[in-house]
């Protein structure tokens, strides 16, 4: 830790680069060992600099969640990008321009958009069909093989479109409360996708892949049998949500928000920090299915960045700029007005997106664009 905390006067997102690099190493090695394609989602870090850490481990294929993000990473020399968001027909012109420059994979889930691509896309693009494996957010149901085949037919009849495979995001893994439940979501996802694949192969002869995405499953599962590609994103930094899901430990969390203490209220044993909804987001979790919180508390330390999480303290409310910590005795007594405390964010993707920059514990400031 070479970073001087004295320079921090406002909410500041700190990054343990070593932890993030360890997660990248671990996930890419796991993918390699299993013989699956590692196509990490870059929506969590949103940074060309962090992206280079992935490149060190051999990553060449990536996933993004918006066209603007695809353009940003394309401008930083990423040449094989899956835009894992159902094609927005109003963006086809811009998509076309990008597909001319790089290997771009798109996501579709209905004939309307497939036909719109057939009519308007002049460049070549890979196409994934989004499959709903139980999350019920987007995609064709896993048992709708006729509908999937109809889409494949539309794609195959167009010389610019190339069917790449079936893509799922089992976001319902986020509703799990144990590793066993996450594994069950994974097993069901693979079973549903492989069944669908078998059905399709009865009338479609070419090769195509199965791609899955969520960080909880990709973190917990050791053997990726039956699927061909993983697209986790959040694992690079993790957060309290993943910790509460048992997808990581608190030591795996690479980000903390350093927040100045502006007041203490003895009667409620609460600490008021500068650090609110415009820094941490309003994403919340429950402790023991009861107590809503917006982040956990860690002590900042000059040598290691930050230390172990306080077991009985949490951010109990946030407004635009304020956060209120419900503090245990030790934290309350040892914290003075003017100190900094660390808040492990509930959702690192949203905290990064709000802050637009983070500082490594070595003192390097990483700034991300407003996409």
Which chain residues interact with a copy of itself by CB under 8 A?
A: 8-10, 43, 65-68, 85-91, 94, 109-110, 112-113, 116, 136-138, 141, 171, 260, 262-265, 267-268, 272, 274, 277-278, 281-284, 317, 319-322, 324, 336-338, 340, 347, 349-350, 353-354, 356, 370
Minimum Å gap between C-beta 50 and a copy of itself is: 17
SS3 220: helix
The helix (run of H) or strand (run of E) holding residue 280 is helix 277-280
Burial readout 316-346 (b: 16 or more C-beta within 10 A, e: otherwise): bbbeeebbbbbbeeebbeebeeebbbbbbbb
Q: How do 229-230 and 209-212 pair as beta strands?
A: parallel
Q: Which lies closer to a copy of itself via its Cβ, residue 202 or residue 290?
A: 290
Cα distance between residue 338 and residue 19, in whole Å? 28
Q: Which lies closer to a copy of itself via its Cβ, residue 267 or residue 288?
A: 267
CB count in 10 Å sphere of residue 182? 25
Q: Which lies closer to a copy of itself via its Cβ, residue 79 or residue 268?
A: 268
Q: Which lies closer to a copy of itself via its Cβ, residue 87 or residue 190?
A: 87
- Residues 226, 192 contacting (CB under 8 angstroms): no
- Residues 337, 343 contacting (CB under 8 angstroms): no
Minimum Å gap between C-beta 62 and a copy of itself is: 16
Minimum Å gap between C-beta 322 and a copy of itself is: 6
Minimum Å gap between C-beta 151 and a copy of itself is: 13
Minimum Å gap between C-beta 235 and a copy of itself is: 15
Minimum Å gap between C-beta 71 and a copy of itself is: 12
Query: Which among 257, 292, 300, 250 is positioned nearest to 278, based on CA atoms?
Result: 257
Q: How do 125-132 and 140-141 pair as beta strands?
A: parallel
Q: Which lies closer to a copy of itself via its Cβ, residue 30 or residue 264?
A: 264
Q: How far is CA 352 from the centre of its chain?
A: 11
CB count in 10 Å sphere of residue 77? 11
Q: Which lies closer to a copy of itself via its Cβ, residue 187 or residue 321?
A: 321
């Amino acid at each position: 830790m070479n970073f001087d905390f004295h320079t921090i006067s406002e909410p500041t997102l700190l990054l343990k680069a070593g932890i993030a690099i360890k997660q990248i190493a671990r996930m890419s090695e796991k993918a390699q060992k299993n013989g699956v394609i590692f196509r990490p989602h870059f929506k969590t870090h949103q940074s060309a600099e962090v992206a280079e850490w992935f490149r060190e481990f051999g990553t060449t294929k990536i996933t993004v969640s918006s066209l603007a993000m695809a353009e940003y990473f394309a401008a930083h020399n990423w040449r094989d990008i899956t835009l894992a968001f159902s094609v927005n027909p109003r963006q086809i012109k811009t998509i076309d321009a990008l597909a001319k420059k790089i290997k771009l994979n798109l996501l579709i889930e209905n004939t309307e958009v497939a036909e719109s691509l057939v009519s308007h896309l002049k460049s070549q693009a890979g196409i994934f069909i989004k499959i709903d494996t139980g999350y019920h957010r987007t995609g064709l149901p896993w048992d709708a093989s006729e509908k999937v085949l109809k889409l494949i037919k539309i794609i195959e009849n167009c010389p610019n479109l190339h069917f790449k495979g079936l893509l799922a995001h089992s976001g319902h893994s986020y509703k799990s409360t144990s590793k066993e439940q996450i594994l069950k979501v994974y097993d069901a996802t693979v079973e549903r996708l492989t069944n669908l694949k078998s059905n399709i192969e009865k009338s479609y002869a070419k090769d195509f892949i199965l791609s899955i995405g969520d960080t909880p499953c990709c973190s917990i599962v050791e053997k990726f049998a039956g699927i061909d590609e993983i697209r986790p994103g959040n694992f690079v930094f993790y957060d309290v949500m993943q910790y509460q899901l048992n997808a990581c430990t608190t030591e795996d969390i690479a980000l903390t928000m350093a927040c100045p203490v502006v007041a203490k209220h003895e009667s409620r044993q609460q600490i008021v920090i500068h650090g609110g909804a415009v820094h941490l987001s309003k994403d919340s979790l429950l402790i023991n299915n009861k107590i809503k919180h917006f982040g956990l508390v860690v002590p900042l330390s000059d040598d290691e960045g930050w230390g172990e999480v306080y077991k009985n303290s949490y951010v109990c409310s946030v407004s635009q700029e304020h956060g209120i910590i419900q503090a245990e005795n030790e934290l309350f007594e040892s914290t003075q007005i003017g100190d900094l405390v660390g808040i492990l964010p509930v959702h690192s993707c949203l905290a990064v997106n709000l802050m637009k920059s983070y500082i490594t514990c070595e003192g390097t400031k990483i700034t991300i664009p407003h996409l």
